[in-house]
Amino acid sequence: MESDFTLDTYGLLCPMPIIKTAAKMKELQPGQVLEVISTDEGIKEDMPAWCKATKNEFLGIEEDGELYKVYVRKK
């Protein structure tokens, strides 16, 4: 999936991927897409929940071996 920014949270466990995503999203303009790379399986549930709470758009997850690539569009 196309993205404007990438955030690498390789090896980090909950809640760090979410905390780093929240901080990174502040740099994005509305409409831009952030790709978050994570090795924490919890991200599959956490990122949709984070998007719902913060009113950002959850675009989907691609699984690539041990990596989860999560896509979020800033509202």
14 assigned to active site: yes
Of 17-25, 28-36, 58-66, 67-75, the window that binds other proteins (rule: CB under 8 A) is 17-25
Binding mask 22-61 for other proteins (x = CB under 8 A): xx-------------------------xx--xx-------
Q: Figure out which of the listed residues 1, 6, 8, 13 binds other proteins, where binding follows CB under 8 A.
A: 13
Total site size for other proteins, rule CB under 8 A: 15
Residue 3 CA to residue 16 CA, distance in Å, equals: 21
Q: In angstroms, rounded to a whole number, what is the distance separating the alpha carbons of residues 32 and 63?
A: 21
Nearer to other proteins, 1 or 10 (CB): 10
13-19: long-range contacts (C-beta < 8 A, 24 or more apart)? Answer: 13/40, 13/42, 14/40, 14/42, 14/46, 15/46, 17/43, 17/46, 17/47, 18/46, 18/47, 18/50
Applying CB under 8 A, the residues found at the interface with other proteins are: 11-16, 18-19, 21-23, 49-50, 53-54
